[in-house]
A and B are shown apart, each in its own frame.
Chain A
Amino acid sequence: MERPLTQHLKPDGSALTLAEYRDLGGYTAWKTALDGMAPDEVVTRVKDANLRGRGGAGFPTGVKWSLVPRGEGAPHPKYMVANADEMEPGAFKDRLLLERHPHQLLEGLMLAAYAIEADVAYVFLRGEYVDAARRLRSAIGEAYAAGLLGEHILGSDYSLQLHLHISAGRYICGEETALINALEGKRATPRAKPPFPQISGAWGQPTVVNNVETLCNVPHIIRHGSDWHQGLGLGEESGTKLFGVSGRVCRPGAWELPMGTPIREILEGCAGGMREGYQLKGFLPGGGSTDFLLPEHLDLPMTYESIGKAGSRMGTGTLIVLDDRTCPVGMVLNLERFFAQESCGWCTPCRDGLPWTRQLLEAIESGQGRHEDLDTLAEHCRFMGPGKTFCALAPGAMEPLQSALKHFRSDFERHIEEHSCPYRSSLS
């Protein structure tokens, strides 16, 4: 089984240095592109590989790049940004790639920049990833010193500057237009689309934002080709994916597996199944803003398509496991507290609606709920559904809530009828 993104991670947890990365063929894709590939060819190869964004939405990467005006007469400067904000609750996959394999990300970011003919690239990193910051800084320094960045790179006529931006923290900074505002030094409220960032992004110039894991795939696609990348997936969808599991499982962690790996293999094979004394009650397949799935879904393959059909989203691919001794109402309350706190406050349904859902859940969880509260919660799920708010934060916040109301309704009802949390007494 091929694991191009993680096979060379060092067991001691340190980062691959430039010399080590080069020994493994690192930066040959960069050289290949600069030596003889037109930017369009890079775009086409990534398009043909059918690489889809790993940031949550699964948008085809090559298509995204192809929307940037290129060639003669295109506006400059253009910007290429790696989204390393990773603040989704339960997500910890990009951290692995950032801390252990910084040059792989840099090479992917540089190739993406070349593909869209960008002049400047940024890594937008969340402030709490202190180790990643240190390692990226050193990797960027190494890359400049080796002439892989800067003016007329490797004798070509392409020049690229690459900078590290360390965020001052807010979940909304991960949303790509909010990220652009943060990069500009402003409050990170999202922007209206259109215009899309590919046309008018940072400082009004064409800008592309891609997830860290997405970009880490690019050097391998350039080196080994589109067909090779397609072949890595188990079914329709191509490539590998970093999957993670957290919660009461035997071996929480993250693993690179073929796209389309069955959930059971991730949860039982890699994570070792549930800890002794605990049963699987449900799980969020792709981080805190995805709908709950149930044990009956364990044999589904992890693809955008199949998880979508089951009523959820693959999101970040990091599973959060709900066990039978954890209160589902408490879990959803925890998530809605997070979303209410992190709402940027720009649009009314989210700014007012999320604190309202939080309060309703607080009432229910503490035994003060009423039956009609469940209807009000369901109403909020509609009011904050897709298309009703300025950005995707609020619809994402509704996903665990609406699915919990459906799958764990009796747990909500017991809280209301018994005027207390039925799980609290069973806590040891």
Chain B
Amino acid sequence: MAEIFARDRGWSNNYLSPAERESIEREAQAYPQRDALCIEALRIVQQHRGWVSDDSVAAIADYLGLGAAQVDAVATFYNLIFRQPVGRQVIYLCNSVTCWMLGCDALRARIKAELGIDFGQTSADGEYTLLPITCLGDCDHAPALMIGDRHHHDLDPDSLIALLQPPASGQDKE
């Protein structure tokens, strides 16, 4: 009922879209209980919406038959679930031990100088959000970071800035 009402009013965030549901159901066979889908659902919704709003939390709770507080407790626990809006691309800068030794602070300073953002901030044009991330498993090629889904290795401030140029068309095929 609530869903029909919400749809009627055009509150699209209050229920899960057919595509979101389909993706969640595809994961369902991997788990013996539906409440186990909570993390999968959060990830899937975030893929579709960019982040997980209060409405999205409520929609997931409703769909899986969980309490909203229960879903929120899970959502706020995990690093890769965003409870605030982020830019179109997230820069995950590794600030763990080897990257620290080999210059991640200089990368952070350069991003701040170029894009005007520090950890937790989004650039004015909404393109980039900068977040710290724990060791990316790239320590043999430190300092490292990820932009979206892609790992980048052996960086220095200049090679980092080259990565931040607007992507030419046809790139990012992965």
Residues of A within 8 A of B (CB): 77, 86-92, 94-95, 120, 122, 126-131, 161, 163, 165-171, 182-188, 203, 244-248, 252-254, 288, 318, 320, 322-323, 326, 330-331, 334-335, 338, 341-342, 344
Bound CA span A236–B30, Å: 41
Given known A-B contacts A170-B77, A170-B78, A185-B36, A128 and B140 have beta carbons under 8 A apart: no
Who on chain A is nearest to B40 by CB? A185
B104 nearest CB neighbor, chain A only: A334
- Shortest 3 CB-CB contacts between residues of A and residues of B: A168-B78, A246-B139, A169-B79
B97 touches A335 (CB 8 A): yes
Question: Measured between alpha carbons, how far is A187 from B71 in the docked complex, in Å?
Answer: 10
Contact yes or no, B139 A127, CB < 8 A: no
> Can you give 29 A-B contacts (C-beta < 8 A)?
A89-B135, A90-B96, A91-B135, A95-B137, A126-B137, A127-B80, A128-B80, A128-B151, A165-B30, A167-B39, A168-B43, A170-B77, A185-B74, A186-B74, A188-B77, A203-B32, A246-B98, A246-B140, A246-B142, A252-B140, A252-B142, A288-B96, A318-B139, A320-B98, A322-B101, A323-B101, A334-B97, A335-B97, A341-B134
A187–B77 touching, CB < 8 Å: yes
Q: Take A185-B38, A244-B140 as given contacts and tell me if A89 and B30 are in contact as well, using a CB distance cutoff of 8 Å.
A: no
Decide: B80 and A168 in contact? CB cutoff 8 A. yes
* Chain B facing A: main interface SS: mixed
B160 at the A interface (CB under 8 A): no
Residues of A close to B37: CB separation below 8 A = 185
Contact B101 A128 (CB under 8 A): no
Residue from A86, A87, A253, A334 within 8 A of B140 (CB atoms):
A253
How many B residues touch the partner, as a band? Answer: 35 or more
Q: Is the CB of A163 within 8 A of B30?
A: yes
User: How many angstroms from the CA of A91 to the CA of B94 in the assembled complex?
Assistant: 13
B→A interface (CB under 8 Å): 30-33, 35-40, 42-43, 73-74, 77-81, 92, 95-98, 100-102, 133-142, 146, 149-151
**Bound CA–CA A276/B95 (angstroms):** 24
Q: Is the Cβ of B97 less than 8 Å from the Cβ of A89?
A: yes
CB pair B135 A88 closer than 8 Å: yes
Beyond contacts A167-B78, A186-B74, A246-B139: 17 other A-B pairs, Cβ-Cβ < 8 A, are: A86-B137, A89-B98, A90-B139, A92-B138, A122-B30, A128-B92, A128-B137, A129-B137, A130-B150, A167-B80, A170-B77, A184-B36, A246-B98, A247-B98, A253-B140, A288-B97, A330-B100
